[in-house]
Every structure is written in C-alpha cells, then in structure tokens.
Amino acid sequence: MGLSSLYLVNPRSFPDKEAETRAAGAWDILNDARVCTSLDEALSGTTLAAAITARPRDLSPEVFDARQGALELIDRARESSVALIFGTEMSGLTAMEVSRCQIVVHIPANPDYSSLNLASAVQVMAYELRMALPKLESLPVTVTVAAEFDEIELLQDHLERVALRCGFLKPGEPKRFMQRMRRLFARARLEKEEVKIFRGILSALEKRIRPH
C-alpha cells in the first residue's frame, strides 16, 4: 500500500525465516525494520500515534473509525511523524500500550466476530491510509507545531510532581488522575507552544508552593 517504515517492539524472533517467506517480495520493508526495546522508544519523535484495537476501553483516548482515523493520520503526517500501533496476534494491545497513543482507531466489523487477524487489521489500515492520500491535498495546512511524544511525557511528569507537592495527589495512590490527564492531552493534540506555557506555569508554581 506504499508504507515503508516498520518498527518492531521486542519481537520474539528477528530476523526470522518465516517472516521472510511471508513478506513475499517486500524484503526492503523487513530489512529496514527497526527493533526497539519499548513502545516509548518506537514512539519517540512522533506527534500522533493511533492504537488499532477492537475493544476501546474506559478512559481510552478519542475513538475514530478506520476511515476517519486514516484522515487524521494523513493530515498530521504532512508536517510530522505519525504511527499506527498494532498489538500481538494473540492478545492485541494492553491498556498501558493504548494509553501511550493519542487516538484509538476501531475497524468496523461484524459485532459477533469483531477481532480481526493482525494481518487483516494492518491491511485495512494501510489501505485506508492510501485512500486518504489524494483527498487531503487541497486542505489548507495549519501553521501550528504539534508537541512530540517526549515533550508531553515530560509535561506529564512535571504535572504529577506539582500535584503531589501541593497535596492534590497522595504518593502511592492509584494513578487515575494521571491517566485522565494523559487522555485529555491526547484529545487536545497539544502544540509545542502550549506545552511550553504549561511547563512555565508549573515551574512558577513549584517555586512558590509551601511543602505539604
């Protein structure tokens, strides 16, 4: 479908004979695949990551269907790096993995049998990305600069520190608050400038909070 960049997070076996056989000629993609030891490593530098899952969960990021999701991704890809995240064949994505993504993409299917093979899910998304290509050429480019994954992670850490320091969060308490903030930041598609402002106000607060 024209995609060329493949990241593998902790593959059980790589390089792998069966993968080579199944690639059926697309060895360039397999040869250039990058192996990462964590999802965060793979997502570093991206501004929009879509978790492809059949089971959107409570407190999950904003959910799009495959077609709308492809449009969002292609739109963003004109100015920065985006990623599609697929889980394993057997168990899909964990809630933790989904929480690292800014949007969730759901592929419509028969509700009685809604879990696609990994290969099928990849095929549908790759196809939708290709179909989304020409339509967007005429849309005006927005001039904002999206914040990158790493910048938002640092913002999350900073916010947690301040929330603990002022006593809003108690150490060791469940992290539901942070999960909610993560979801909100994802939905908001934060800009670089906005992250800078938040960091600025958090720094100003940190200096003036009386220790709890």
Question: Which parts of this chain interact with a second copy (CB under 8 A)?
Answer: 1-2, 24-26, 56, 63-67, 106-111, 113, 116-117, 119-120, 123-124, 127, 130-131, 137, 139-140, 142, 162-163, 165-168, 177, 180, 184, 187-190, 193-194, 197, 200-201, 204-205, 207-210, 212
CA distance 205 to 53: 39
| CA quadruple 8, 14, 19, 21: dihedral, nearest 10 | 150
Beta bridge partners of 50: 84, 103
With respect to a second copy, which residue has the nearer C-beta, 38 or 119? 119
With respect to a second copy, which residue has the nearer C-beta, 9 or 75? 75
Cβ contacts of residue 44 below 8 Å, gap of 6+?
148, 149, 150
DSSP-assigned letter for residue 189? T
With respect to a second copy, which residue has the nearer C-beta, 39 or 185? 185
Beta carbon of residue 211, minimum distance to a second copy (angstroms, whole number): 8
With respect to a second copy, which residue has the nearer C-beta, 40 or 167? 167
Q: Are 79 and 72 in contact (CB under 8 A)?
A: no
Beta carbon of residue 50, minimum distance to a second copy (angstroms, whole number): 14
